[in-house]
Structure 1
Amino acid sequence: MTAMEAQLSSLLLREHYGEIVERVGTFLIRTGAQPLRVIVTETATSTDQVKKALCVLLQHGLVTYQMHKRGFVEYVAQSERCLRILRFPRYIYTAKTLYGDTGELIVEELLLNGKMTLTHSVKKVADRLTETMEDGKSVEYSEVLATFTQLADTHFVHRCPGINNTGETSSTEGRPPPAPTLSTNEKEMFTVPKVTLIGRGKRRRSSDDDEGATQSKKPRKDAGAESGQDDAIYWQINMVRFHQHFRDQAIISAVSNKMDQTSSEIVRTMLRMSEITTSSGAAYTQPLSSNEIFRALPAGYNISKQVLDQYLTLLADDPLEFVGRSGDSGGGMFVINLHKAVASLATSNLESIVQERFGSRCARIFRLLLRKRHLEQKQVEDFAMIPAKEAKDMLYRMLSANLVTLQEIPKTPDHAPSRTIYLYAVNSLPAARMLLQRCYKTVANLIERRQFETKENKRLLEKSQRIEAIIASMQATGAEESQLQEIEEMITAPERQQLENLKRNVNKLDASEIQVDETIFILESYVNSTRAKSS
């Protein structure tokens, strides 16, 4: 892990889990596998606090453990998973888009708790949904269970990897259970056990403390019957499946911008038919015939089979090469070239960055080098139709930014400049890696800026929260409007303006984080696909 990634991971751990967890997690990220004794000594933290921090990290899958050959346990940080904390809002929003409020809350609870049993997750989500309903209705456990089953069927959630997924622990006292191993049957990872949950969500009692304590001691009769089958099965978010969905959406959007809505819907249908059967690292989707694609098209798209074949031919002949042919049976077999699509998306991001940073003429030269691979300076001037002095200056500016490479090809052994050919080219992979590190640094700067803004206005925020709490309690007791207005006037006009400015700035920083993360995702996917292709 690079220094930029380690810095960003440290900031994310501190923001979401606190200072002690951040201290332990950052130490493991920087040093690798370490035993408990070394962690306690090097972090200058008490043993109990380190154990609690490790429990939090293990619960959220940010740290794993392994047995050393000498018999002690070593803890290893999962660096890439630490960076995925940045993507939590996108996971939650995607679940809301696909499965509504119930799916959103299921994913949110699993992310907040790291891992949960099916019964616990269903009850908690049902309670939260019931509290938001104003008409006094309650949400049935069966409704939440149905949505959870849909998430598992589409692989957005899966069972936590473990020894047969039964939650067995080691019999050796004082040691953690054996290191988790993936289940041999992948299908079981997404199979929801047959559990009958009878009951509905509960609202919180707004009574005095004594009555609340009495209520909490009473067992809930409808808390969910016959749930013993899933007590030892824990579930978590399948981040790989979410990333696959993000990639598919990026491909669909690119096809829509390049061609039209019908073409993007055809590509969407092909991706939807292959989303479960195609592995995340595959270069191509499963081959699909035009007849299968025609039958799977949404009912609203009333296009004939002949028109579909024409669209598929256009997509297959397009220079982007997102869609490729793999045979002629069944009216023609077609696949989505996933690696090629990701590479095109990454290249498009590189071109956009060059244009924003150096201008449209530099972007023209950059695209020219991408298309022609290697060009001399005179050829760049001629093809791009840019004066020699300007072209030379632009090439050197991009060369100094490591976006363009220069290769020397000597004609003679003495490497004399007059007898040497100088070729300019674009090496996309190193450029993507460099820009990826800059994106990590950008997100770290955004987080630090947001923390600074919050710290500078800490007193005003606390005052605003106290006043809001007073108003809420007075509204619950039926206070008059004049009394509420008098409490609201405790915040002066300049303070209110300052709060609005703070809120606007924080919202801008949050939106910037999400936008930069979209670029990070495309560049990461390109780097990973290139690595998988080379291996």
Structure 2
Amino acid sequence: MLKISYTRSDPWDSTLNPVTLAEIRDHLKDLKHLEQYLKVLEEESGGAVRRVGDVGGGQYRLELGEAYRTLTHTLVYQIVQERLGGKAARIFRLIHRNGMMEQDQVAELAMISKKDANLLTFKLTQDHFLLIHEVRKSLVPSPANKITYLFHVDMEAVVRMCLEWVYKSVYNLIVQRDTTHADNTRLLDKRIRVDSIVENLRQSGGTEEQVREVEEMMTEAEVKQVEKVSSTQDRLFDSEIGLDETMFILQMFVYYQRMQG
């Protein structure tokens, strides 16, 4: 659907031009139960796939803005859970979906004790995941108990905050990776030279004894240290790639929000 849509739409548009069932079938001739798969996408993709007509067996439209909105909401829920736990994530998700909620409503609908709900909403507010909106029950000046406090979520502000965390984390990973390499430069260069000599020997018909002699230029302790450094570098790089994916999703959410604004 993306491939077909990109031939007739601006790929950066929030809403792409429709494709028909017949066009999809032409590209996926061997795929059985295509109508059922499209039905599942329509019902379970969070609005990313929508049926918009019946021409050509059915017209379907991709909503990229909705796709990134759904992905981002799920991602932010996971971030809240990792930072503050499952109950906090449940409260955050509940308030986000309901718009604005009073404290007592939060405890009741989240099925959490009032004490825990109060503590977790405080933590969520303190960490800027929640905002508080004051509503006076009367225009006449009144005591504090006449003010209702409503919790709500500004998702774009939360996403921008998460993006800042991601930027800092990526920077720290890059610095750590560069530092690890710099601290072991001589040893890593030695490993490269030894491997190069061994490869040349094998290509030129050197004996196994000659190869062993060259490999023994690296002590056992040096070999272990190189393996440790390589493992650390790989782990840092994998973490960086994971954060890059997170960054991309959050940035696309902000992009489409700006388009709608």
TM-score interval w.r.t. the shorter chain? Answer: over 0.9
Task: Answer whether contact 1:288 1:333 (CA < 8 A) is retained.
Answer: yes
- 1:516 counterpart letter in structure 2: L
Q: Which one of the candidate residues 346, 349, 362 is aligned to 2:75? A: 349
1:503 aligns with 2:230: yes
SS at the partner of 1:491?
coil
Match of 1:418 in 2: 145
Please say if 1:290 is aligned against 2:16. Answer: no
- 1:369-398 CA-partner distances (Å, limit 9, x unpaired): 121111111000000010011011111111
Q: 1:484 to 1:373 in 2, by over 3 A?
A: same
User: Do residues 448 (structure 1) and 175 (structure 2) align?
Assistant: yes
Counterpart in 1 of 2:51? 325
Among residues 236, 245, 248, which one is paired with 1:521 in the alignment? 248
Q: Distance in 1 between matches of 2:205 and 2:57?
A: 71
Structure-2 separation of matches of 1:484 and 1:381: 70
Q: Higher relative contact order by CA 8 Å / sep ≥ 6: 1 or 2?
A: 2
Structure 1 residue 382 corresponds to structure 2 residue 112: no
- Corresponding residue for 2:160? 433
The two structures have a TM-score, normalised by structure 2, of 0.92
Describe the SS at the equivalent of 1:385.
Answer: coil
Does 1:459 pair with 2:186?
yes
Q: What is the distance in 1 between the residues matched to 2:22 and 2:192?
A: 60
Q: Distance in 2 between matches of 1:348 and 1:506?
A: 29
Alignment partner, residue 211 of structure 2: 484
The CA distance in 2 between the partners of 1:301 and 1:477, in whole Å, is 52
Alpha-carbon offset, residue 426 of structure 1: 1.4
Distance in 2 of aligned mates of 1:469 and 1:317 = 57
Distance 2:30 2:235 in 1: 38
Indicate whether 1:300 and 2:33 are aligned: no
Deviation sequence 1:122-164 (CA, Å, 0-9, x none): xxxxxxxxxxxxxxxxxxxxxxxxxxxxxxxxxxxxxxxxxxx
Change (3 A) 1:319 1:463: closer
Structure 2 unmatched runs, 5+? none
Output the amino acid matched with 1:284.
T
List aligned pairs for 1:136-285, cutoff 5 A: 270-285=1-16
Q: Which deviates more, 365-374 or 327-336?
A: 327-336
- Number of aligned residue pairs: 260
The 1:327/1:472 distance shift into structure 2, 3 A limit, reads: closer
Structure 2: distance between partners of 1:312 and 1:300:
15
Task: Check the 8 A contact 2:129/2:153 in 1, yes or no.
Answer: yes
CA offset at residue 415 of structure 1?
6.6
Whether the 8 Å contact between 2:198 and 2:211 is mirrored in structure 1 is yes
1:470-496 per-position Cα deviation (integer Å, ceiling 9, x unaligned)? 323333443221121011111111111
Q: Distance in 1 between matches of 2:155 and 2:172?
A: 25
- The equivalent residue for 1:334 is 60
User: Residue 395 of structure 1: which of 121, 130, 141 is its match?
Assistant: 121
Is this contact kept in 2: 1:474–1:484, CA < 8 A?
Answer: yes
SS of the equivalent of 2:128 reads: coil
Letter in 2 for 1:506: Q
Q: Look up the match of 1:532.
A: 259
Distance 1:415 1:330 in 2: 64
Cα gap change, 1:472 to 1:427, in 2 (>3 Å): same
Partners in 1 of 2:211 and 2:154 — Cα distance? 64
CA distance in 1, matches of 2:192, 2:213: 16
1:471 corresponds, among 186, 198, 220, to: 198
Asked if the contact 2:95–2:152 (Cα under 8 Å) also holds between the matched residues in 1, the reply is: yes
How many angstroms does 1:333 deviate by?
Answer: 2.4
CA RMSD of aligned residues (A): 1.9
TM-score after normalising by structure 1: 0.46
- 1: CA distance, partners of 2:45 / 2:32: 27
Deviation at 1:311, TM superposition (A): 4.6
Alpha-carbon contact 1:327-1:333 (below 8 Å) kept? yes
Q: Is the 8 A contact 1:378 1:388 kept in 2?
A: yes
C-alpha contact (below 8 Å) 2:45/2:67 kept by paired residues: no
Equivalent pair of 1:406/1:424 in contact (CA under 8 Å): yes
Task: Please list every run of 5 or more consecutive structure 1 residues that lacks an aligned counterpart in the other structure.
Answer: 1-269
Amino acid corresponding to residue 149 of structure 2 in structure 1: Y
Instruction: Tell me which residue corresponds to 1:371.
Output: 97
The residue type equivalent to 2:17 in the other structure is: Q
Deviation at 1:312, TM superposition (A): 3.8
- Separation in structure 2 between the aligned mates of residue 283 and residue 378 of structure 1, nearest angstrom: 38
Deviations 1:504-526 (A, max 9, x none): 00000011110000000000000
Return the offset for 1:411.
2.3
**Native 8 Å contact 1:345 1:522 kept in 2:** yes
- Deviations 1:157-205, CA, capped at 9 Å, x for gaps: xxxxxxxxxxxxxxxxxxxxxxxxxxxxxxxxxxxxxxxxxxxxxxxxx
Which one-letter code corresponds to 1:456 in the other structure? Answer: D
More helix by share: 2
Q: Where do residues 60-139 of structure 1 align in structure 2 (5 Å cutoff)? A: none
Q: CA, structure 1 residues 476+425, in 2 after alignment: closer, same or farther (shift >3 Å)?
A: same
Structure 1 pair 294/503, CA: closer, same or farther in 2 (3 Å)?
same
Secondary structure in structure 1 of the residue aligned to 2:10 = coil
Residue in structure 1 matched with residue 87 of structure 2 by the alignment: 361
